[in-house]
């Protein structure tokens, strides 16, 4: 037998499979790497949805809803109401102990506060974005509106639109993003606090998107969300 024959026999010999532990480790590392890349791409896509702040809505609507979280949002929503961008305004997520007087005291003097007495409704039931969407749906149906200007912060807008679109699929939603002073003064990637806020909001956005997609195919993880009992008259 020649040296070449010996080499051929070696090449034809069955290869030994990698140990299972190495295969499992490689699979886990690969899955983590893919998940990380998918999360990074998704986060970039989420950031691309954040608006830089709107001077005016794209068009006028029947109504305006502002999701509470800061007095600047309410002030901007009242300005829109005063300028005819909606017939009525819903302030959703008001603290149960607060009323029109509390809101008046939190607003700048240049706001037309008379509008609070004639054309503003308060929702004190909602405690989160999903609740905002449910209460907004009730209000829109009661008012007979078909279009709505949505006022909230820029980082909160993507999740708000997911929830509102689910509750109001036949209503035109017109986003109006409010930019806080921190966003105007510094880039988000230079602030640890802002970065943590964005990451937290991104996770909440993914959860809302997943829940809504499942609900759309008949898998409702929280089936009572849209049919809460009507609140007692205030």
DSSP 134: H
pLDDT tens per residue, range 36-90: 777 777 777 777 777 666 678 889 999 999 998 666 888 899 999 999 999 999 9
For residue 34, how many other CB atoms are within 10 A of its CB?
10
Please tell me the predicted confidence (pLDDT) of residue 44.
79
Please tell me the predicted confidence (pLDDT) of residue 181.
65
**Closest by Cα among 140, 137, 118 to 129:** 137
| Residue 88: strand pairing partners | 63
Angle at alpha carbon of residue 59, lines to 158 and 128, rounded to 5°:
30
Q: Are 57 and 149 in contact (CB under 8 A)?
A: yes
Six token digits for residue 209: 């998107």
Domains of the chain: 63-179+191-216 (3.40.50)
For residue 32, how many other CB atoms are within 10 A of its CB?
10
Q: What is the pTM of this model?
A: 0.77
Q: Are 159 and 201 in contact (CB under 8 A)?
A: yes
Six token digits for residue 53: 């702040």
Q: Which helix (H) or strand (E) holds 103?
A: helix 100-106
Residues 6+ positions from 144 with CB-CB distance below 8 Å: 62
| Residue 65: strand pairing partners | 90, 150
Using 70 as the pLDDT threshold, list the residues of the chain that sit under it.
Answer: 1-18, 51-54, 69-71, 108-113, 181-185, 221-234
Q: Quick one: 62 exposed, middle or buried, by C-beta within 10 A (0-12, 13-18, 19+)?
A: middle
**Closest by Cα among 178, 177, 179, 170 to 62:** 170
Long-range contacts of 218-224 (CB under 8 A, 24+ apart): 222/130
């Amino acid at each position: 037998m020649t040296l070449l024959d010996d080499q051929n026999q070696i090449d034809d010999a069955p290869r030994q499979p990698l140990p299972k532990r190495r295969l499992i480790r490689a699979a886990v590392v690969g899955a983590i790497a893919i998940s990380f890349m998918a999360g990074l791409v998704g986060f970039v896509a989420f950031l691309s949805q954040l608006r830089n702040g709107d001077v005016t809505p794209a068009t006028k609507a029947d109504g305006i809803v502002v999701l509470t979280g800061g007095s600047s949002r309410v002030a901007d929503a009242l300005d829109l109401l005063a300028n005819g961008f909606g017939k009525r305004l819903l302030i959703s997520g008001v603290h149960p102990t607060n009323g029109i007087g509390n809101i008046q005291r939190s607003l700048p003097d240049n706001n037309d506060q008379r509008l609070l007495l004639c054309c503003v409704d308060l929702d004190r039931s909602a405690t989160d974005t999903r609740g905002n969407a449910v209460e907004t749906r009730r209000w829109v149906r009661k008012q007979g509106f078909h279009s709505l200007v949505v006022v909230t912060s820029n980082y909160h807008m993507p999740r708000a639109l997911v929830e509102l679109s689910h509750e109001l699929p036949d209503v035109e939603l017109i986003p109006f993003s409010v930019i806080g002073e921190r966003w105007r003064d510094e880039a988000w990637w230079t602030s640890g606090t802002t970065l943590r806020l964005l990451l937290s909001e991104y996770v909440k956005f993914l959860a809302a998107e997943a829940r809504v997609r499942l609900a759309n195919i008949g898998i409702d993880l929280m089936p009572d969300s849209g049919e809460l009992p009507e609140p007692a008259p205030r």
